[in-house]
Structure 1
Amino acid sequence: MKNVDYIIVGDGYAGLFLAHQLIKNNKSFVIFSEGRKSASQISAGIINPVVLKKFTTFWKAQEQIDFLKDSLKEIETYTGENYLINAPIHRIFHDENEQKLWLKKSGNEELSAFLDKKFGSLNGVKNDFQTGKVNQSARLNVNGFFSGLFSYFEKNDHLVKERFDYTKLNPSESVYKDISFKNIIFCEGMGVKENPYFSEIAVVPNKGHHIKVKLSQPIQENITIKKKHFLFPTGNGLYFYGGTYDRDQLHHHIDDSAVTQLVNGLSEFYPCDFEVEEVHFGFRPTVKDRRPIIGRHETLHNLYVFNGMGARGILNGCYFARDLFRFIENDIPLHEEVSSKRFQ
């Protein structure tokens, strides 16, 4: 029988940032990974404190950005790599009204640290009304982050490469197969709908597509361009462009309409030829009030849920992993805004 403090079920941002909290606090754990690519693993990895449709920010944005940067430095101490890519977002303005709105909002106390007051112009793309730079924005090296952490887990005997079987869990004895545990945390994204202990939580799938394209003329490397969607280089001569948001077309194959939307979106500002080389999609677990869902099972007090990271999975997963850890270990109450109890 193997004894651990924690079992983590799920291998997206929530699960991996939670594992980081356990490593940092010398807790023993195993993490279950089926080996299928989660929505997190195909995500753009954008780290962005601003909602770029309306030029607003969100709850705890500055705290989350600061905490993420610190956490990535801590992760570097055991993986040997920092996965933060300093490639700030440059938002292409649609018209003069957007320029004016940006300037007006940049005077707001909560936005002044994020919206650069100086406008710029980019080479190689159409930006007739210039661009605004989002200060403190960046990207995560998504492939590096997942492969680096999985490799660390494997070397240190934390990784269980199999699908979690709920029928083999005995919560009253704190045993799963041949593993005894103190706490088990389900970080399964949309997989939670098959979880008999937490299937009722209020997460809604949001399907996102992105394309990988080959551009006939390269663009500036050290930035992330945003108009309708995000464009940035991924290496191998390819560029990521995406992602879409769809709450209706939830079948498990590619939507041609989403691909058309992306091709049209890119054509709007990229004036040269490009070829679509790959299409990917995933299902983000979103919540009506755009806050994660974190909590303890009502009767089985060694079972927890950590879900609903939505489109800000990196920031939410990183920041709230600490809150969940403190809740379990030190009985520090969760923010009402993220507690699973808010829906009861």
Structure 2
Amino acid sequence: MSDFKLLIIGGGLSAINAYQLSLRYNIRPLIIDDNVISASHVAAGMLNPLTGRNLSKTWLCDNVFPFAHSYYKSCENFYGNKFLYSLPIYHLFRDEAEENDIYAKSADPNYRHLISTDSELRNSLPAYLKENSKGAFFRQGGFIDINNLLNQAKQHAKNNCNYLNESFNWNDLKLLNGKVEYKGKDYNAILDCTGIKVSDNPYFSKLPVMSNKGEILGLKGKLSGHSDYLYHKKIFIFKHPDGLLRVGSTYSNTDKSTQNTQAAVDFLIEKANAIMPDNYIISKHWNGFRPTTPDRRPIVGQHPKHKNLFILNGMGSKGATLSPFFAFQLIRDMLYKSPVNELVKPNRFF
């Protein structure tokens, strides 16, 4: 173990990924977490390489997806538990124009490693979808059982005296030359992974991190017997290890309430029926607030003035894929001055 001590503030996926990668680099991490339910606790953990209305490759796709798959497998080996569920995504075409576009992309060298129109894959679809839908299969898809990973990592941190369950008080923080002091103890660096609570941090309070509310349902239905694919058409459906179908998600920049909404239920059930008609039974309903930014890029890196203060935030709806990659870049920046991607540095907002 090195002498480098890192104070990690937060308990969501970004904080846990930073903790995990700190261990890989023999850093001595301490997590301070108020254990309040965050977006990570209710996130579906989707891995989807093609996103947006035009189904373009997600940003940095060819870098972040191989890294994410490798990283989560290493977490499985470390904890002896399963977190990564690699599944083909069966995307149902919206219309003929999208069908033509996807078939064209399947022949494009930049896309063909991600798209399959293999008839063999169709043969194992549920009978209704095989007979009544047109679609293509996206590779490198799947989902992460985020709650399981969070629980395993936090228990490991507790067992090794690397975890404090308490609220962080920014007034007790002292940023000194070459070190960080908090409640009388010294650290080499502090990392803010607080999501939408970053506004509580006086050093990063002006960052334009916005909350985007998402709601997800846990359903029982016919697709509960089919765990071989992740189904997608405007929303996603897949079978979670808890036995329920995850169906989501909604997106709202205006709804700031912490309540579940009937509007979300109506929307998600309607879209679920467009994929597979069924008399769905609602067992669970969750909501959370994703941290997003105006330019849809994360905020990762060193404070422009305080060189021992770092941030890992703003992953939006793509935290399962972006967070490991940028946590890795950030840890290497702390240790070796290996710079993070210029497009995500916080100084773009200062």
TM-score class normalised by the smaller sequence: over 0.9
77-86 or 194-203, which deviates more: 77-86
Structure 1 residues 217, 27: closer, same or farther in 2, change over 3 A? closer
Q: Displacement, 1:103?
A: 0.4
Q: Displacement, 1:337?
A: 0.9
Secondary structure, aligned partner of 1:268:
helix
Q: Displacement, 1:94?
A: 2.3
Structure 1 residues 96, 254: closer, same or farther in 2, change over 3 A? same
CA–CA distance in structure 1, aligned partners of residues 278 and 303 of structure 2:
54
Tell whether 2:259 aligns with 1:256: no
Q: Is the 8 A contact 1:14 1:306 kept in 2?
A: yes
Tell whether 2:246 aligns with 1:240: yes
Partner amino acid, structure 1, of 2:29: F
CA–CA distance in structure 1, aligned partners of residues 69 and 241 of structure 2:
23
Partner amino acid, structure 1, of 2:227: E
1:310 — aligned with what? 316
What's the CA shift string for 1:207-250, capped at 9, x where partnerless? 10001112156441121111121111124542111011111112
2:297 alignment partner, one of 281, 291, 298: 291
How high is the TM-score relative to the length of structure 2?
0.91
Structure 1 residues 111, 93: closer, same or farther in 2, change over 3 A? same
1:38 — aligned with what? 38
1:198 alignment partner, one of 204, 209, 222: 204
CA–CA distance in structure 2, aligned partners of residues 31 and 342 of structure 1:
27
What's the CA shift string for 1:75-116, capped at 9, x where partnerless? 234312242112221111223322211101222222111111
1:104 — aligned with what? 104
CA–CA distance in structure 1, aligned partners of residues 167 and 282 of structure 2:
33
Matches within 5 A, 1:132-143: 132-143=136-147
Secondary structure, aligned partner of 2:240:
strand
Q: Is the 8 A contact 1:55 1:105 kept in 2?
A: no
Q: Is the 8 A contact 2:5 2:188 kept in 1?
A: yes
Secondary structure, aligned partner of 2:212:
strand
Q: Is the 8 A contact 2:87 2:140 kept in 1?
A: no
1:150 — aligned with what? 154
Matches within 5 A, 1:169-248: 169-172=173-176, 174-215=180-221, 218-248=224-254
Give % identity: 26
CA–CA distance in structure 1, aligned partners of residues 239 and 74 of structure 2:
26
More helix per residue: 1 or 2?
Answer: 2
Unaligned runs of 5+ in 1: none
2:306 — aligned with what? 300
2:126 alignment partner, one of 119, 123, 126: 123
Moved over 6 A (4+): none
Structure 1 residues 205, 125: closer, same or farther in 2, change over 3 A? farther
Unaligned runs of 5+ in 2: none
Structure 1 residues 124, 117: closer, same or farther in 2, change over 3 A? closer
Q: Displacement, 1:4?
A: 6.4
Structure 1 residues 112, 216: closer, same or farther in 2, change over 3 A? closer
Q: Is the 8 A contact 1:126 1:271 kept in 2?
A: no
CA–CA distance in structure 1, aligned partners of residues 223 and 40 of structure 2:
29
Tell whether 2:69 aligns with 1:69: yes
CA–CA distance in structure 1, aligned partners of residues 96 and 270 of structure 2:
22
69-78 or 117-126, which deviates more: 117-126
2:170 — aligned with what? 166
Q: Is the 8 A contact 2:302 2:345 kept in 1?
A: no
Q: Is the 8 A contact 1:95 1:129 kept in 2?
A: no
How high is the TM-score relative to the length of structure 1?
0.93
User: What's the Cα RMSD here?
Assistant: 2.0
CA–CA distance in structure 2, aligned partners of residues 188 and 270 of structure 1:
37
Q: Is the 8 A contact 1:86 1:222 kept in 2?
A: no
1:113 — aligned with what? 113
CA–CA distance in structure 1, aligned partners of residues 8 and 167 of structure 2:
12
Partner amino acid, structure 2, of 1:316: L
Secondary structure, aligned partner of 1:7:
strand
Partner amino acid, structure 1, of 2:216: H
Structure 1 residues 58, 216: closer, same or farther in 2, change over 3 A? closer
CA–CA distance in structure 2, aligned partners of residues 231 and 307 of structure 1:
27
Partner amino acid, structure 2, of 1:163: S
CA–CA distance in structure 2, aligned partners of residues 203 and 272 of structure 1:
38
Structure 1 residues 165, 124: closer, same or farther in 2, change over 3 A? farther
Q: Is the 8 A contact 1:96 1:129 kept in 2?
A: no
Q: Is the 8 A contact 2:304 2:346 kept in 1?
A: no
